[in-house]
Chain A
């Protein structure tokens, strides 16, 4: 049994007095797709944001490939962790191509030509060959989010974090983004996905993690989780979905 790629060990996080993550233990294997679900305010997004240190944790340990994320150089560790946000956060003064090329060019020091060639192929991969020269304001939400995925992939991360990436989209645009994520999962990307899309969780997820009130209350394979949740909290959450 190989070591997990991402590991949370006794992670605690407070916002002032509020205890938002309570002793989280969680392991994500390489190439595994872990889908985190749960009611809003349960700490799902905070867990993701702690992983790449957009939020600092108060105690516990987070490791990536056995190395402590907390002790590492923050700019270095973030290069290994791709993050996609609910609100896209594309850079509005750059074209789609420039958005995707910015990371490799500015952070990894790749030449502009090389970075843009790579960006072009990544945009092809997310189905946006025709939009390379468009600015974010000229793209639909679904297209913007696909550019954001390409931008994160451009850094060749070890793991991708998806923070409710379809929640800000019009319903008819959700499919195109989930499609790209499904392809990524199939290609073997390690993914930690926070979502309210239960269909996606069931179809693409290798493991479902249910969070509630800052704790992991249940986890398991999608089939067993959705068919026979073992905990009372899990049953309650699922019954409310139906």
Chain B
């Protein structure tokens, strides 16, 4: 009894200086300061650096053209790299040693060398097999861009798929095989749908990087967004007006893409996140 009373009377421990309330104010203050700095900087740029007439009238058509070139390359490479990635990923988990080795070598090469290097190999290296001027594809820059982006991103998606498959418990394959399904059937009906769901976040992440990787295509003379910025800058000596356009256009692809991936993730979760 006496002991209990003593405990009740004990002084509360002294509060540390960084208590929860103070921490909240510090965070709030930091956010406000950060927002003010960013807004102020943007305002400063818009007010002093961006020419509104040029933004709307002169530069507009060139950027729209670049935007659709980039979008076209992104859509095609994206679809092809997901298909390629599934193949690479399946090769990576194959029980056949040569298949597994080739897939591993593929991934090591395309993840281990810069995309810029790969693009140059394709764009300049492949036509070198023909006598000068004899290369049959007339405008090779966009095909080369699509090939390069596809080969490169297939390696990353392949790794995502491999991780997704490995995260599926062995019991799933065993249960499917125990019903009499072949390896291919069990993969298709049971393992891959689950692996796809596991890999979706990583694949979505990679597709956003693919969009940003199009900026490297300026070295292939593809009329994409960064080269448009540089062209306009050298013609007008104005840098901030085209930069603003470039930022808007990249975000116009990446933000909806991110939303689309989150939609796919929600759809791939069968019970809609309901759990017992």
Contacts and interface: CB of A to CB of B under 8 A. Distances in A.
Contacts of B270: 92-95, 135, 137
Nearest to B189: A106
Contacts of B5: none
B9 interface: no
A137 B194 CA distance: 14
A107 B177 contact: no
B271 A78 contact: no
Interface in B235-274: 270-271, 274
A140 B276 CA distance: 7
B171 A75 contact: no
B179 A137 contact: no
B185 A137 contact: no
A52 interface: yes
Contacts, number: 79
Interface string A197-227: 0000000000000000000000000000000
A181 interface: no
Interface in B171-199: 171-172, 174-182, 185, 189-190, 193-194, 197
Contacts of A95: 270
A79 B171 contact: no
Contacts of B182: 75
A89 B276 CA distance: 17
A76 B180 CA distance: 6
A85 B171 contact: yes
A137 B178 contact: no
A94 to B, nearest CB: 8
Contacts of A79: 179-180
A208 to B, nearest CB: 25
A192 interface: no
Interface in A105-132: 106-107
A89 B180 contact: no
Nearest to B271: A135
B275 interface: yes
A93 B198 CA distance: 12
Contacts of A102: 179, 189-190
A137 B275 contact: yes
Interface in B181-223: 181-182, 185, 189-190, 193-194, 197
Contacts of B175: 83, 85, 89-91, 148, 151
A54 B271 CA distance: 30
Contacts of A20: none
B178 to A, nearest CB: 4
A138 B271 CA distance: 8
A87 interface: yes
Nearest to B168: A92
Contact of A151 (B179, B185, B189): B179
A81 B178 CA distance: 8
State which size class the interface on A falls in.
Answer: 20 to 34
A52 B169 CA distance: 19
B171 A54 contact: no
A82 B174 CA distance: 12
A93 B177 contact: no
A4 interface: no
B6 to A, nearest CB: 44
A89 B181 contact: no
A68 B172 CA distance: 26
B276 A54 contact: no
Contacts of B169: 87, 89
A137 B180 contact: no
A59 B262 CA distance: 52
Most central of B169, B177, B180, B182 by chain A CB within 10 Å: B180
B197 A93 contact: yes
B179 to A, nearest CB: 4
Contacts of A106: 179, 181, 185, 189
A103 interface: yes
Contact of A107 (B172, B180, B275): B180
B48 to A, nearest CB: 56
B274 A78 contact: no
B20 to A, nearest CB: 36
A72 to B, nearest CB: 11
A167 to B, nearest CB: 14
B177 A137 contact: no
Interface of B: 169, 171-172, 174-182, 185, 189-190, 193-194, 197, 270-271, 274-276
Interface of A: 52, 54, 75-76, 78-79, 81-83, 85, 87, 89-95, 102-103, 106-107, 135, 137-140, 148, 151-152, 155
